[in-house]
Chains A and B, each alone.
Chain A
Amino acid sequence: MSEEKPPTEPGQPPYKQSMELVYSQERERRESVELSDRELALRARGGDAVAFEALVARKTPVVLSLARRILGDAEDARDVAQMVFLRIWGELHRYDESYSFNTWLYRISTNLAIDFLRSSRSRRRAHGASLYLVQLREQSSSVSTTRALEEAELSRLFERVSGRLTAKQKAAFVLRELEDCETREIAEILGCGESTVRNHLFNARRTLRREIARLYPELLPGRGKR
């Protein structure tokens, strides 16, 4: 920018210094990286669109990952992620900053994912995923230990055997095992008591054990084949 000041004509603004940047969306976007989730949420509640988009970009991986594990389908997970952020945008005025933003986000994400899971469309797709896993098992020559399983195969295995879990059991198990949430947090997210969460986890493990032993005994070293 030139340091020479333009000539001042009558009626024109007096130039004292070089032009100074007052507000820039790009600068605000860069600064939002340093803000906490709660601060971004409060700014978004005040109408700051840049803060809201920064929040969406930051939290999408968490929401997508959680939704994918609960639903077992990437496309459904994307639909749920969109619904989650639209719900947050519409209900930001209800956000109580004395509570953790993450807990609120998890609650909305889990509830919407559970509702989606209960719909017949998700059940049909899960059935499709289980058919794929049956084909995978038939094609493999020997599966003797977990070492042989790739992480993707382990994911598909989970999608298959977790089909027997209730929506709340599955959500509690995913929040515990994959998101590493405490029992108290899971209780807040699911809207139930801590003892109920422990029951969900206990029953989920029992069902998973039973399903794995029934469907894939070859995965368990030392156990006989069917």
Chain B
Amino acid sequence: MSLSCSSVRSHLALYVAEGLSRKQRSAFREHLTQCANCRQEAAEADPSLLFAALPREEVSAQEVAHVLASVRSGIALREAERKVGVRRWRRLAGVAGAALLAATALLLPGGSRRSESPQLAPAAEGPSVPAEAAWQPAAQPARVDRAPSDVTIYDLNPGASRSEPRFVRVVGRSIDI
């Protein structure tokens, strides 16, 4: 949609009063960026219309790359902080649990209590709750719904039927094509 000079001039007041549609506003601005006479008339009518011809700031590819790099760094830092926080929390939880059990064992009187509550016996010897649970391999391999985004995967027998095993080779990102 393009507007003529007379059309722009007759719509100046409507533009300022926010009375134009989005399409009309867009055409109005486009005309002002191209027509110096209309820009002048618009500025005389309302000085704030000087900025109707203000273009969007240009952003170079270098700036985009800079922002992307800074976002990557920010995400990596937050991930690292989160992992450190989780490990520290598990360690604290383990130590707190052990301390609680030891304190309970010390406060409770004699062996009779121990025989009544056999689960306290291990506490007397020391903390039985490990700081981190021992890793147990899964009974079946976990199903991966989404491929990891940092590798390339090649299927070595793509025509294999469902009953045949799949053989894949996972390579680093540097060998991506």
Contacts and interface: CB of A to CB of B under 8 A. Distances in A.
Interface of A: 13-17, 19-26, 28, 46-50, 53, 56-57, 60-61, 64-65, 68-69, 78, 81-82, 85-86, 89-90, 145-147, 151, 154-155, 157-158, 173, 176-180, 182-183, 198, 201, 204-205, 208-209, 212-213, 219-222
B50 interface: yes
B150 to A, nearest CB: 7
Interface in B33-66: 36, 39-40, 43-44, 46-48, 50-57, 59, 63-64, 66
A19 to B, nearest CB: 5
Given A57-B64, A64-B67, A146-B43, 9 more contacts: A25-B150, A49-B150, A53-B68, A60-B63, A78-B67, A82-B67, A90-B78, A178-B56, A205-B48
Interface string B147-160: 10111111111111
A78 B78 CA distance: 19
Interface in B60-104: 63-64, 66-68, 70-72, 74-75, 78
Interface of B: 16, 18, 22, 25-26, 29, 36, 39-40, 43-44, 46-48, 50-57, 59, 63-64, 66-68, 70-72, 74-75, 78, 146-147, 149-160, 164-165, 167-169, 173, 176-177
Nearest to A24: B152
B2 to A, nearest CB: 16
